[in-house]
Amino acid sequence: MGAVEPDYLPWILGAGLATGAGGLGLLVVSRPSDRLLDTLLGFTAGIMLAATAFSLLVPALELGTVAEVVAGLLVGAVLLALLDIVLPHVHARVTETGEATTVQARTRATLLLSALTLHNVPEGLAVGVAFAAGGVELGVPVAVAIAVQNVPEGFAAAAPLLTAGTPRRRAVGFAALTGLVEPPAALAALGAAALTTALLPFGLGFAAGAMLYVIVDELIPESHARGFEREASYALVAGFALMLVLDTALG
């Protein structure tokens, strides 16, 4: 299952390119409202949470032992936590207190893109490991989940760049670039899984742990950062329900 089948490539590439599709929304919306940003981030968190549970942890437990899956989960979460500490970045809050200079805003926007690029890596790994573990039946639902959540994520990623004075089209391009790390990460995970199928339960747990850390550390807190917590919570439930339906229909 570890080989890169031709059927896998469109899904792997599509998941990464979806971030740019979300950034295109800024060509239509001049300035996203705080309510919209909170709602989109909540929706994204719901989709990722469902994908973590149903598309990664459940198959992992079917393939291996609880110990293997928990070990992968913990290693994935700890690794993301360490990267969160070591690599300079900021989280996705758009509302600022006080007036920021253009230089400060540009620096913040650059660090935000670093954060989004960082957490796109485990998403790519999740897609690759899912295809390695279950072929199209498991890989497609995970790829679709990642693609769907990447659309609002790309929109939220590009929005702060406008505050920093970045031209609208260039902001869209930068948002798209953050998702381009996903296909190489997915292919790397596929290649590693090809070496030994014994690592698949650990690998699925690892991807789940990394994604769970992103959800808890970034998406949910950021969706509550602008005062629209209830809308974000409703959107999280809607995203979770959508992914449950997609996972059932596609899996």
Query: 199-241: per-residue pLDDT in tens?
Result: 888 988 988 898 898 888 878 888 888 889 999 999 999 999 9
Is residue 212 included in any domain, yes or no? Answer: yes
Count of domains forming the chain: 1
Higher-confidence position of 153 and 1:
153
The answer to whether residue 207 is domain-embedded is: yes
28 inside domain: yes
- Torsion sign (Cα): 130, 136, 142, 144: positive
Q: Is residue 2 in some structural domain?
A: no
How much is the pTM? 0.75
* Domain-embedded: residue 7: no
Tokens 């979770």 — which residue? 240
Which of 107 and 246 is assigned the larger pLDDT?
A: 246
21 part of a folded domain: yes
> What are the pLDDT digits (tens) for 104-162?
555 555 555 666 677 678 788 888 888 888 888 888 888 888 888 788 777 766 766 66
**Calpha distance 186→64 (Å, rounded):** 21
Question: 15, 48 in Cβ contact below 8 A?
Answer: no
Residue 100 structural domain:
12-250
Structural domain includes residue 1: no
**184 domain-assigned:** yes
